[in-house]
Amino acid sequence: MPDELNQESEVKEIVYALATSPDFAKSGACFSARQSGLYRSNDGGETWNSVYGSLTLDAPLMTTSVVLSPAFPQDGLVFAGTNGGILRSLNGGKTWEVAILRTPSPLVSALAISPDFAGDRTLFAGTMEDGVFRSTDQGTDWVFWNFGLYDPNILCLVVSPNYTADHNLFAGTENAIFRSQNSAHSWRETGFPLDRGPILSLVISPAFTRDGTLFAGTDSYGLFRSKDRGQTWQHLPGLEVTSSINAVLISPEYPLKAELLVLAEERLLVSRDDGLTWSDWCDDIVFEGDPIAVAAPSGLNAGSPLLVGLSTGSVIRI
């Protein structure tokens, strides 16, 4: 194991990120990135096993982000962001290759993959301190440019659903939201209001090309929406929360189904009217820890399964 990957001497288990296979309903395959490493479940989140068995680790390897190839059931490609590098598996986690980022190696805080990954082989890694890295060869080599990205502490990253044509991606940082229109070569600050950061979560409309919509969850100022590709942002007053919005999910059928789900104030809140009103996803649910990450492999229809990762390290299925 390369020295650049910083292994943890003391582990306080937290789930940082979740990723589900496109064929989750059939295979039940999903991954959880945790303080103690990366775990895979093949039964929809009931049981979890570490996938770092093939690595020679002296101590747990904190894994902060995970992303799967859009064709995961066929190609088995998994990417995991760690403190110092990015791991790639070509077989669903059985074996791993390590890509070390340029020294001093940063912590990888977010991973995002091109929707046309099979064609362009492109994915992005947001890091703390070093901005956004890009790979155009399925994660073998990584480079960063980051012109205009004067806040290099990336907390979240989203890629346009029409990336192949528009080369757009957005990065949320401690203080601002940046937009790149040229595959992360250069960045421009969006019109996100000053002093409303940090931006913990971003989600982009599946119809972004037409509606230019994206949502941003902040640490203490609630949820914001932009309908003009980030030029202006409006606070959504219907969501009366002041705590961290750790995750925002959007319906795959948005805007036809204007449904949103947020993790806020230790609650799972859903809006079915484009953020005007909010209600609990389901009654009588009590989390044994703070919900940190959420995945909705089958969309946001009532009754669809949700996976929620907690600050205790457990993942519950609702």
Partner 1 sequence: MKKIKNKRVIFQPTAYKAMQTGINQMANIVRPTLGPLPRMVVLEHNTKNERPEILDDGGTIARRIVALPNRDQDMGAMFMRHVLWQQHEKAGDGTATTAVLFQSIFNQGVRYITSGGNPMPVRKHLEKGMEIVIDELKGMATRLEGQQKIAEVAESICYDHEMAGILGEVFDFLGEFGHLEIRSGRSRQIEREYVTGTFYKMPLFTAEMIKDRDKLMAYAEDVPVFVSDLDFDDSAQFSPLLRVAGESGIKALAIIANHVSDSAVAFLVSISRNPQKFQAFAVDAPIPEEGQPVMLEDVAIQLGAKPFFKAFGSTAEGVTFEDLGQARRVWADKEYFGFVNGKGSPQDVRKRIDELKKRYEAAKDVEARNKVRVRIGKLLGGSATLWVGGNSDLDIEMRKARLERTVEAMRGALLKGTVPGGGVALLACRPAMQRMAAQAGDEDEKFAYHTLARALEEPARAIIQNAGCDPDVIIDRIDKAGAGQGFDVRAEKIADMAGVGIVDAASVTMAAVHSAFASAALALTVDTLIHHKKPETVFNT
Q: By CB under 8 A, is residue 294 in contact with partner 1?
A: no
Choose, by CB under 8 A, the member of 118, 136, 145, 238 that binds partner 1: 145
* Distance between CA atoms of residues 202 and 159, nearest Å: 10
Q: By CB under 8 A, is residue 173 in contact with partner 1?
A: yes
How far lies 276's CA from each of 83, 225, 269, 279, in Å?
38, 11, 12, 10
Among the residue ranges 172-180, 220-228, 263-271, 283-291, the one whose residues contact partner 1 (CB under 8 A): 172-180
How big is the site for partner 1, counted in residues (CB under 8 A)? 28
Q: By CB under 8 A, is residue 153 in contact with partner 1?
A: yes
Cβ atoms of 143 and 133 closer than 8 Å: yes
Tell which residue, 260, 316, 259, 261, has the closest CA to residue 290.
316
Q: By CB under 8 A, is residue 188 in contact with partner 1?
A: yes
Choose, by CB under 8 A, the member of 47, 91, 182, 220 that binds partner 1: 182
Q: By CB under 8 A, is residue 4 in contact with partner 1?
A: no
Q: How many CA atoms lie within 13 A of 13 on its CB side?
A: 11
Q: By CB under 8 A, is residue 186 in contact with partner 1?
A: yes
| Residues 199-218 contacting partner 1, CB under 8 A | none
Binding mask 118-137 for partner 1 (x = CB under 8 A): -----------xxx------
Task: Show Cβ contacts of residue 139 under 8 Å, excluding neighbours closer than 6 positions.
Answer: 79, 86, 88, 99, 123
Q: How many CA atoms lie within 13 A of 293 on its CB side?
A: 24
| Residues 78-107 contacting partner 1, CB under 8 A | 103-104
Cβ atoms of 71 and 117 closer than 8 Å: yes
Least spacing, CB of residue 304 vs partner 1, in Å: 37
Q: Which is nearer to partner 1, 153 or 201 (CB)?
A: 153
Tell me phi and psi for residue 92, to 5 degrees: 70, 15
Pairing of β 234-235 and β 49-50:
unpaired
What residue ranges bind partner 1 (CB under 8 A)?
Answer: 103-104, 129-131, 144-153, 173-176, 181-182, 185-186, 188-189, 194-195, 197
